[in-house]
Structure 1
Amino acid sequence: MAEQISLSAEVPLELGGKRLDQILADLFPEYSRSRIKTWILDDMVQINGEIKNIPKEKLFGEEQVVISATIEPQREYEAQNIALNIVYEDDDILVINKPAGLVVHPGAGNADGTVLNALLHHCPEIANVPRAGIVHRLDKDTTGLMVVAKTIPAQTRLVANLQARYNFTREYEAICTGTMTAGGMIDKPIGRHATKRTHMDVTITGKPAVTHFRVAEKFRSHTRLRLRLETGRTHQIRVHMSYLTHPLVGDQSYNGRPRPPKKATPELFECLQKFRRQALHAVMLTIEHPITGEMMTWHAPIPDDMQYLTEVLRADTALHGREDY
């Protein structure tokens, strides 16, 4: 069902001389500038009782603004009763711990059975929020924390903070191949792969991408890492680690094939052979609440498959000592 929006305000004198779309963005910051521009173009904005549909038209100040808009629901997706592991929820946001194998948004090859379909069942009114409130995504086989906005104002502010890298922190745990000696930062642009259209790649024509990482634990021929995203490009951690020649264990797309060390225990050999997803988990999320302004942090326990892999790697390392490092 479409949502009716009614807004009104007086233009302050200090905003006089600015464009109409800029003024409305200042007056109503809970709505994105692109949405406001659409309302102007669609004759939904009145200034002193007269419809104004030119975004760049300038105002003097002290005009009366009235917006009578309709927000149409997004494309009709089916609400499906899919269980969500909800870590936190209030009137404005919810935070979930996504399992492996669950796609976030419908797309080619995944028409339904996604987080979005589950959100529509859990919270039907979220249909009025663009992308059903999804602010950021996790790959299908990446586990961990995601925040979802339940209202348009909450989504607008979360997206703005995410884009500005302001009070929006995501930390991941991963296990990569090879022994890394120290942490660091990867600052390499990421774009679409030249020949593999479903893959991403480090390329000078890509968008800026920055990943920070530190060594959490070293094994004979693998490393457990903690990583923090400064940007949020598609497959960013997976691409950056592959670029460093330390692809994530189990990453079928970015060269994370099984690489047991010499004299690997049977348990480790089997575990690596059967680990069929990237060993990557969104373990911590910190945000500024988009409505209250409160700083909030959540942690998600390491999933069973990564815990078991870690235990087997520790046992193998303890058995062989440092001689094979």
Structure 2
Amino acid sequence: MTQTSNTVKLEAVTESQHFGQRLDQVLADLFPEYSRSKLKSWILDGNVTVNGEVNTTPRHKMQLEEVVRVEAEMEIQTRSEPQDIELDILYEDEHILIINKPADMVVHPGAGNSDGTMLNALLAHVPNIDKVPRAGIVHRLDKDTTGLMVVAKTLPAQTHLVAQLQERTMSREYEALAMGTMVGGGKVDEPIGRHATKRTLMAVRENGKPATTHFRVKEKFRAHTYIRLKLESGRTHQIRVHMTHIKHPLAGDPVYGGRPRLPKGASDEFVQTLRNFRRQALHAVQLSLFHPETEEWMSWQAPLPEDMQQLIDVVRKDTQEHGFDEL
């Protein structure tokens, strides 16, 4: 079994009996077809607005004639079929799988991607993995982000791995090509939540969930920087949102990146390579964790995919030809 999503859009105006009541209580009264726990989770996730403003406080006291809107994704249980899809497996034993995910592979089925996903491939590759929630997938990568993921083959392994994620003992490192020339490394410690108006996007928000991204510079170019990143938390689109927040969005990012930044005198090869790179230049390069059965500390690395390596080579060549003084 897996889950797909269905967009839920609700709207109502508070009445006299709602005055002074908590937001979660009012939602339960206005929309009784949904459970209180689900409504509360939507509040906490930033899916509820009061008079047009996102409100993430279930205890918020309501006033008269306030417009309450809910816009969220409702997960629906559906059956996913096993599919014989090749996986790039770096390590496998009876407890875990380490997979190097390619670009264009969706991890979970969803709207517009009902099959051909990593989950479909796992159902075919591992007998009885459908007995493990989400077919053992404990963390995700965006569709066009490449690199390392761990999958649990048993329920005890999944429980152990989820605990490592929550306790931040699992180490996940990424490499990326960011726009602009960065002075040095550092960290972004900013909360992330749903975008105030674009509900499918994430953004740095004061009332979001805590998120910390560490980064260091590997190589500087004329108009880009090759960086290494490490996550303390694992929010949706975290690296992409944080790097955009500090004015260094990832090259190729179709959602958060904006238009490509082309330095003066760039060659046709440079321009075409940058414009044809239509995914975020982000790769999960290293994954380290305690094995859920043996407790052994294990680590894996995945080299940059060919398209990202080619992009960095072209950017490096441009810098070698022009130096740093022609931005």
Give the shorter-chain TM-score range: 0.7 to 0.9
What does residue range 150-169 of structure 1 map to in structure 2 within 5 Å?
150-166=153-169, 168-169=170-171
Aligned counterpart in structure 2 of residue 286 of structure 1, from 270, 285, 288? 288
Residue 114 of structure 2 is matched in structure 1 by: 111
1:129 and 2:123 matched: no
Structure 2 residues not aligned, in runs of 5+: 2-76
Residue deviations 1:116-146 (CA, integer Å, cap 9, x gap): 0000000131000000000100000000000
What does residue range 91-106 of structure 1 map to in structure 2 within 5 Å?
91-106=94-109
Distance 1:291 1:302 in 2: 30
Q: Given residue 245 of structure 1, which amino acid in structure 2 is its aligned partner?
A: K
Distance 1:86 1:257 in 2: 35
Is contact 1:103–1:140 with CA below 8 Å preserved after alignment? yes
Residue 313 of structure 1 is matched in structure 2 by: 315
| Per-residue deviation, 1:260 | 1.2
Of structures 1 and 2, the larger Rg is shown by 1
Residue 296 of structure 1 is matched in structure 2 by: 298
Is contact 2:175–2:227 with CA below 8 Å preserved after alignment? yes
Provide the TM-score with structure 2 as the length reference. 0.76
Which is worse superposed, 249-258 or 312-321? Answer: 249-258
Distance 1:242 1:105 in 2: 26
Provide the TM-score with structure 1 as the length reference. 0.76
SS in 2 for 1:124: coil
| Per-residue deviation, 1:322 | 2.6
- Give the count of matched residue pairs: 252
SS in 2 for 1:224: strand
Distance 2:215 2:325 in 1: 26
Distance 1:86 1:75 in 2: 27
SS in 2 for 1:290: coil
Distance 1:262 1:206 in 2: 39
1:89 and 2:84 matched: no
| Per-residue deviation, 1:75 | 4.7
Residue deviations 1:282-324 (CA, integer Å, cap 9, x gap): 0000000011100000000100111111111111001012322
Is contact 2:178–2:225 with CA below 8 Å preserved after alignment? yes
| Per-residue deviation, 1:105 | 0.4
| Per-residue deviation, 1:76 | 2.4
Aligned counterpart in structure 2 of residue 242 of structure 1, from 241, 244, 265? 244
Is contact 2:221–2:324 with CA below 8 Å preserved after alignment? no
Q: Given residue 265 of structure 2, which amino acid in structure 1 is its aligned partner?
A: K
| Per-residue deviation, 1:78 | 0.5
Aligned-residue Cα RMSD (Å) equals 1.2
Distance 1:91 1:100 in 2: 27
Residue 212 of structure 1 is matched in structure 2 by: 214
Is contact 1:251–1:257 with CA below 8 Å preserved after alignment? no
Residue deviations 1:50-82 (CA, integer Å, cap 9, x gap): xxxxxxxxxxxxxxxxxxxxxxxx852110111
Aligned counterpart in structure 1 of residue 274 of structure 2, from 261, 272, 275? 272
| Per-residue deviation, 1:85 | 0.4
Is contact 2:172–2:230 with CA below 8 Å preserved after alignment? yes
Structure 1 residues not aligned, in runs of 5+: 2-73
Aligned counterpart in structure 1 of residue 180 of structure 2, from 164, 178, 185? 178
Residue deviations 1:77-130 (CA, integer Å, cap 9, x gap): 110111100010000000000000000001111111110000000013100000
Same amino acid, percent of matched pairs:
65
